[in-house]
Structure formats: C-alpha cells, structure tokens
C-alpha cells in the first residue's frame, strides 16, 4: 500500500481521517451486499489451501466413474450370454477381429493357450488376460474401436460372454451379470509377477 | 577437412531439388545484375541490389530448407489412430525435443478438447472430492521441469537380430521437454487422501478413455499435472489441455487429456496394465507394473544412415537418460566394446532428463564398431542387448535399454550392427 506516503505532508491528518471514513463506508457496503446476495452458487470453492475447485455432483461422478475391478466393483446391473452376443459381435466386431476372433486383421482375441512359454507366444484374452472384468471394462471403454462408447450395458455383457465363449472359457448360454462375471476364472489368472528390476547386478558407487 | 553428411537415399531427391533451385537462383541473380547494370552507372559504388526478406509473422515456422520429421509407423495394419510416430533423434541438438517432433503414441486418436469445457475430477478414497477447471489449475503455484518421456516399447526392434534401419526408427520413441504444471501431490492434499489410498487411477478424455494405475507413493512424489510444454500450452497430441507427467516412468502411464484421478486401495487392472505393457518372460510368466525406464543411451551422430567422408576428426554425440535419476557417466567404445572411454557430458545434467554427451573421435578410416554405455547415479550400467536377452528372452517386447552398436564401414557407410 502506498497510502502512508502522504504522512509527512501538512495535510497528513485530514488524509488519514478521510481514508478511515472511506474504508468504513466500503466495509458497510460490502456487508450489506453480502446479506442481500441471492444464494446462486451451491457449488462453493472447496479446496482448503487455495480455495479453488468444487464438489462434483452425484450425476457428474456417475457419468465418469466407469472403472470396473476384478472383484466386480463398478459393474452396473445387467446381463448377457454368448448366444445373445453373437449378433453384436457379427455386426460390430467381426470386420476387425474375424469370425472366430483369430483371423484379425486387428488384435487376435482367441486361442494361444499354452503358448506363452514357447518361442511363438500368442497373447489373447483367453491365453493371457488375468481377469474377465478387465474385458468388460475395456469393451465398454474402448470398443468397438471406430465407435467407442456406443454399446449398451447388456451388449457389453453379451459381447464379453461371446469373446470368452470363443476362448472356451464360458458356455454359450452361461449368463454373465454383475455377480457371475467376477467369478469367471481366467486361465492365466496367476501368470503375473511383480517387477524384479534392476535384474542385472548394480555396482554401488 | 573431411565432412560428415547424412547420405540417405531419400535425401538424394532433395539434393537434386536443392541443386536445381541453386541453379535457378543463379539464373535469377544474373538477370537481376543485368537489370541493375541498366539502372545504375557501372562506376556506381553501391554495394549490390538485395530484395527484402519476409515480414514479421504471428506464429513462427522453421526454415523451408529443414526437413526433419517424425517417422509415422505405417508398416503394420493398425489404424493410424492407434499408431505411433517417432522423433528424428539424429536431427535434434541439445536435450530439448521440439514439441512438433515429440514422439506420439495414441490408442484412440488425438481428441480436440476445448479447455474452457475440460475439467479434472479427483475422487475415490479422499475426504473431499473436487472438480478443477483448467483455469483454476493455472492459478496454482506452478513448477517447470525438464523430463524425458519414453514409450516402454521403444527399441523393441532390437530384441531380435532384425534391428531397425536407423536411430529414429529404432529408438525414436523417446523425447525430452520442459513441462509446466502443478504437482499432483498438491491437488491430492487439497482433496485429503484417506489412509487406505494406496494407488491412483488416471484416466484420459480420449475416445478410448485410456487408463492406468499408479502407486500413491509415486503420485505424491514428483508426478505433475502438466499444461505447458516448452513454453507453450501442450500440443493436442501431447494431451492438450492437461496431461499427467510421471517422471522416469514408461510413457503409457503419463495419461494424456487427463480428466480424472481416482484414489484406490488397489490397482484397477485395466487392459493397458494386463494385456499390454506387461513383460512376458521365457517361462511364460509376465512382469507387471514395470514402470521404470532404466538407464539407456545411444550415439545419435553418426548413426545408421550417415556416411563419413573419409578418415579424420568427427564428433560422436548422443543422448543418455535414466528413469531412476541423473546420468553419472557415459562411456564410448569404437572397437565393439573391448575398450571404453569417458565421454563429456553437456551440463546441466538433470535427473530423469535427456543428457547430451559428446566425444571427439579421430577416425583412422578402418571398420569400426561404435557404441555408448550409460551409468546412472544409482550405479546401474546400461547392459548389452545380449545380456538382457539371457535374462528376459526375446518376447518381453517392452523395456529394451540395451547398448546400441553402429558399424562404420571403411567406405564410410554407417549401419545398425544389430542388423544381420
């Protein structure tokens, strides 16, 4: 504040009184305005240190909170069978992944079981993926590649069932829903280990 | 003085173009002289006629003589929205990669995002879930840091003896920028992480909603929510308007177009951390959550595709980096690894950033095998590819930080010695 500069001048006292009166007037005005302000903003600033951000509404969270966990958390109610999924697969997936999931041209979805420790490993949903819930999550999130986000919940259950069926993991009429899907045991469930690196000796300086 | 010149076949066309331009310029010049002679007296002592240059402009572009560009992977049947483009390491100087040449790897294309409508939500195991606008994040105390970013699939061509044709195709999935943003820890503190919070899930606003889990320890350490790159807002292909920058860790966890961070008690086991970005070992098991990009280096000049013009002095220069900290030492060999000599490191040597090294070489004109080898501050020394293969086999795909050997033929051509 630069106000103190006037102090040395003969008019110093009058200045100071004027400033105090002015400041009080401004304060009163602010208080009055606050009292009559309509409560238009329900989402107030919330972050304690910086006073920014706001709480998300329940709807906002529901729209973006889409991750699904191996124990089934995040799965919405719904159901599907491979038999029901065949139609969606044929119309929405087959051009990129082939009739049996093995033809490509994009990622091979089926086969390869028992190949991981050979010189020509084939990593597919059936041979490599540890959790069936991950397939559900990924299909809803990212497939079909050219139109992600267009499958209904039941279509996601059904195409998940169909891809698992192509891998011989579920039967054609097994019903997958929010309780049965997490129970599907994937062949490579125990195939993953942590990161042991550095895996070459490190010379301590 | 012997000279070193890139002499790739694709450059022949541009050389021809240059020559023809050179000659047509010459023709124009003599025409101008004739015109001038008619205007000015022959005994005039004026210097020479010169046309004015271009006027000032609003957004700069490089010289039209410069042609370095990203190499777009098109050899696979994969759609270009799910492809990659690689940095021309051979054509860059210093440690900063121009934003326009920063490598790309996307899984569902580059979205166009209006920053005024983009938000970042932090929720999950926190006391106070919050939504931040981009403007709000820019009001917070910011940090700028220089970090490399490397795709864990970089150099995967070198697992087998096929090898890549040049440094860009083999190793161009690494780049280095100055990133500006806010520490993620600052935002997480504002939201108050619950004691059970052990991981975060970061998710993008790209069409495929790319998502990865990251341990909370790292999230609270040096992870940034970045909005700036090399003094400008992020490029769209680098995550505009917001991205996660996870220093030293594989590119895939540096989630672009960041829209959501959820605090979790365990990893989400998303497709990108199970089906992909896991390293298959010879026994059929796979390493998961292999985050660190370990110490690595390569000579970028001369490198495969160059041609040395006769014996004499050449500068060997290249880049070294480590996801575990600063580079302590880079050594050079010219005899295929029998003897090593220390290279000079360009300062500043920054942790988790590209580090430029150089070494002056007097080539005797005979066959030579050139390579660099980096050691980081933890004492870890970059291994040979052969050593990695002994431990990991050839099917792990990701995280190849092996030594890159270039072969210089007595006729001056430089090729990838891995290529047999």
CB contact under 8 A, A148 and B208: yes
Residue B183 DSSP symbol: E
Q: How far is CA A110 from CA A102, B13, B141, B285, B378, in A?
A: 6, 46, 50, 19, 43
Q: What is the pLDDT of residues A154-174, one digit of tens each?
A: 999 999 999 999 999 999 999
Would you say B105 and B204 are in contact if contact means Cβ atoms under 8 Å apart? no
Give yes or no: residues B236 and B153 share one domain. yes
Q: What is the mean pLDDT of residues B41-68?
A: 92
Which of these, A151, A134, A146, lies nearest to A106 by C-alpha position? A146
CB distance from B284 to chain A under 8 Å? yes
Which of these, B415, B408, B420, B368, lies nearest to B166 by C-alpha position? B415
Tell me the residue range of the domain where A31 lies: 10-54
Give yes or no: residues A24 and A116 share one domain. no
Is residue A196 situated within a structural domain?
Answer: no
How confident is residue A10, by pLDDT bands cut at 50, 70 and 90?
A: very low
pLDDT at residue B24 is higher than 70: no
How confident is residue B2, by pLDDT bands cut at 50, 70 and 90?
A: very low
Q: What is the pLDDT of residues B318-338, one digit of tens each?
A: 999 999 999 999 999 999 999
| A167-171, B47-51, B93-97, range with the lowest pLDDT | B47-51
Give yes or no: residues A30 and A103 share one domain. no
Would you state the pLDDT for residue B152? 98
Give yes or no: residues B318 and B262 share one domain. no
CB distance from B292 to chain A under 8 Å? yes
Would you say A136 and A195 are in contact if contact means Cβ atoms under 8 Å apart? no
Give yes or no: residues B270 and B304 share one domain. no
CA B230 to chain centre: 13
Residues of A in contact with B208 (CB under 8 A): 141-142, 145, 148
pLDDT at residue B194 is higher than 90: yes
Would you state the pLDDT for residue B8? 47
CATH classification at residue B180? 3.90.420.10
Which of these, B175, B186, B200, lies nearest to B321 by C-alpha position? B175
CA pseudo-torsion sign B371, B375, B381, B382: negative
Would you state the pLDDT for residue B10? 46
* Residue B157 dihedral angles phi and psi, to the nearest 5°: -65, -20
Tell me the residue range of the domain where B141 lies: 99-287
Long-range contacts of A38-47 (CB under 8 A, 24+ apart): A46/B128, A46/B130, A47/B128, A47/B130, A47/B190, A47/B191
What is the least distance, in Å, from the CA of B383 to any CA of chain A?
A: 8
CB contact under 8 A, B282 and A117: yes
Would you say A124 and A112 are in contact if contact means Cβ atoms under 8 Å apart? yes
How confident is residue A32, by pLDDT bands cut at 50, 70 and 90?
A: low
CA pseudo-torsion sign A34, A35, A38, A39: positive
d(CA B136, CA A49): 13
Residue with more model confidence, A46 or A38: A46
Give yes or no: residues A49 and A70 share one domain. no
What is the least distance, in Å, from the CA of A12 to any CA of chain B?
A: 39
Give yes or no: residues B263 and B351 share one domain. no
Rounded to two decimals, what is the model's pTM? 0.87
Is residue A83 situated within a structural domain?
Answer: yes
A25's enclosing H/E stretch is helix A12-36
Give yes or no: residues A26 and A123 share one domain. no
d(CA B362, CA B243): 45
Give yes or no: residues B210 and B180 share one domain. yes
Give yes or no: residues B135 and B276 share one domain. yes
Beta strand residue intervals within chain A, DSSP E? 79-80, 176-177, 192-193
Give yes or no: residues A71 and A170 share one domain. yes
Question: Chain-wide mean pLDDT for chain A?
Answer: 88
Give yes or no: residues B185 and B275 share one domain. yes
State which of B264, B287, B310 marks the end of a domain: B287
CB contact under 8 A, B287 and A195: yes
d(CA A86, CA B198): 39
- In this prediction, what percent of chain B has a pLDDT beyond 70? 89
CB contact under 8 A, A134 and B262: no
Give yes or no: residues B204 and B304 share one domain. no
ipTM of the complex: 0.88
Residues of B in contact with A139 (CB under 8 A): none
Would you say A169 and A183 are in contact if contact means Cβ atoms under 8 Å apart? no
- In this prediction, what percent of chain A has a pLDDT beyond 70? 78
Is residue A92 situated within a structural domain?
Answer: yes
Q: What is the pLDDT of residues B358-395, one digit of tens each?
A: 999 999 999 999 999 999 999 999 999 999 999 999 99
| Candidates B108, B139, B262; nearest CB to A52 | B139
Question: Chain-wide mean pLDDT for chain B?
Answer: 92
Is residue B64 situated within a structural domain?
Answer: no
């Amino acid at each position: 504040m630069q106000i103190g500069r006037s102090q040395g001048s003969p008019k110093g006292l009058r200045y100071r009184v004027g400033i105090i009166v002015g400041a009080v007037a401004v304060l009163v005005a602010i208080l009055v305005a606050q009292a009559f302000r309509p409560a238009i903003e329900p989402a107030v600033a919330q972050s304690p240190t910086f006073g920014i951000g706001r709480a998300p509404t329940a709807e906002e969270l529901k729209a973006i909170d889409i991750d699904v966990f191996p124990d089934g958390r995040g799965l919405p109610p719904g159901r599907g069978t491979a038999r029901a999924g065949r139609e969606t697969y044929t119309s929405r997936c087959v051009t990129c992944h082939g009739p049996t999931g093995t033809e490509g041209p994009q990622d091979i979805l089926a086969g390869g079981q028992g190949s991981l420790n050979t010189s020509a490993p084939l990593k597919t949903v059936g041979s490599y993926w540890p959790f069936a819930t991950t397939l559900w999550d990924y299909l809803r999130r990212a497939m079909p590649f050219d139109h992600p986000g267009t499958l209904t919940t039941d279509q996601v259950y059904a195409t998940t069932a169909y891809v698992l069926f192509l891998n011989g993991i579920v039967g054609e009429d097994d019903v997958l829903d929010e309780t049965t899907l997490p129970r599907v045991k994937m062949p490579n469930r125990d195939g993953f280990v942590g990161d042991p690196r550095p895996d070459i000796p490190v010379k301590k300086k | 003085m012997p000279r070193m010149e890139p002499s790739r076949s694709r450059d022949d066309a541009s050389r021809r173009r240059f020559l023809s331009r050179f000659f047509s310029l010459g023709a124009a010049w003599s025409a101008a002289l004739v015109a001038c002679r008619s205007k000015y007296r022959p005994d005039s002592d004026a210097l020479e006629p010169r046309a004015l240059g271009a006027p000032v402009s609003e957004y700069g572009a490089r010289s039209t003589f410069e042609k370095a560009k990203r190499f777009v992977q098109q050899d696979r049947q994969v759609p270009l929205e799910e492809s990659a483009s690689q940095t021309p390491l051979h054509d860059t100087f210093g440690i900063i990669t121009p934003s326009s040449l920063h490598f790309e790897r996307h899984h569902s294309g580059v979205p166009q995002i209006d920053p005024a409508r983009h938000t970042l939500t932090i929720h999950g195991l926190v006391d106070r879930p919050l939504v931040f606008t981009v403007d709000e994040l820019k009001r917070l105390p910011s940090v700028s840091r220089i970090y490399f970013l490397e795709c864990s699939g970089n150099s995967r061509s070198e697992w087998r003896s096929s090898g890549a044709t040049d440094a860009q195709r083999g190793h161009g999935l690494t780049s280095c920028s100055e990133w500006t943003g806010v520490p993620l820890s600052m935002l997480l503190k504002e939201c108050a992480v619950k004691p059970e919070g052990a991981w975060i899930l970061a998710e993008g606003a790209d069409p495929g909603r790319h998502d990865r889990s990251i341990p909370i320890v790292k999230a609270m350490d040096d992870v940034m929510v970045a909005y700036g790159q090399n003094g400008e807002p992020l490029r769209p292909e680098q995550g505009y308007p917001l991205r996660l920058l996870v220093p030293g860790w594989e590119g895939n966890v540096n989630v672009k177009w960041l829209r959501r961070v959820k605090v979790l008690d365990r990893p989400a086991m998303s497709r990108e951390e199970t089906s992909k970005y896991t390293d298959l070992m010879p026994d059929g098991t796979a390493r998961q959550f292999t985050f660190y990009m370990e110490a690595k280096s390569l000579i970028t000049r001369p490198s495969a595709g160059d041609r040395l013009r006769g014996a004499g002095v050449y500068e060997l220069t290249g880049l070294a980096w480590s996801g575990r900290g600063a580079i302590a030492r880079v050594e050079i060999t010219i005899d295929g690894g029998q003897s090593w000599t220390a290279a000079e490191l360009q300062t500043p040597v920054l942790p988790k950033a590209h580090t430029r090294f150089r070494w002056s070489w007097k080539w005797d004109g005979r066959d030579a095998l050139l390579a660099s080898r980096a050691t980081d501050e933890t004492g870890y020394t970059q291994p040979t590819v052969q050593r990695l293969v002994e431990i990991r086999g050839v099917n792990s795909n990701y995280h190849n930080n092996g030594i890159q050997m270039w072969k210089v033929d007595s006729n001056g051509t430089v090729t990838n010695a891995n290529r047999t």
